[in-house]
Amino acid sequence: MPDLIAGRLDVMFDSFSSGYLQAKDGKVRALGVSSPDRSPLVPELPAISEQLPGFISMTWFGVFGPAGMPQSVVNKLNASFNKVLKDPQVKEQLAKMGIDGIGGTPTDFTKKLATDTQEWQKVISDAKITLQ
């Protein structure tokens, strides 16, 4: 972020919680959010998709253990995290950072991982983005 603040960059896509704070402090100028709709935290900031239909992209947070964890242990952890996500205090603290709690089963997560990987695979191979 220091490079952008110094004015040497043209544009940057940052995590909402970080970029939002920098913009609020007047260190950078925010042009839009990459969610389908505007964020309730900054309703005056447009969603990029309003001006660029189809441009939607989210960052997600998830919990994993190593492969081979006993199912009963996975289920117990899963149940606990799901319960915590329903807590109003937790919801509020996350919302303040522009984060939406989701939850679900481990299988839901496996499916989400597969779908996301397919989508980004296409974006990255189309652009021929490679590390050098």
Applying the rule CB under 8 A, the residues between 44 and 83 that interact with other proteins are: 45-46, 48, 50-55, 57-70, 72-74, 76-78, 80-83
Q: Residue 14: name the closest of 67, 57, 69 by CA.
A: 57
Q: How far is CA 58 from CA 15, 75, 78, in A?
A: 9, 26, 22
Alpha carbons 37 and 27: distance in angstroms, whole number: 24
Which x/- pattern, by CB under 8 A, does the window 83-122 give for other proteins? Answer: xxx-x--x--xx--xxxxxxxx-x-xxx-xxx-xx--xx-
24 binds other proteins (CB under 8 A): no
Residue 56 backbone phi and psi in degrees, to 5: -135, 130
For residue 75, the minimal CB distance to other proteins (Å) is 9
29 binds other proteins (CB under 8 A): yes
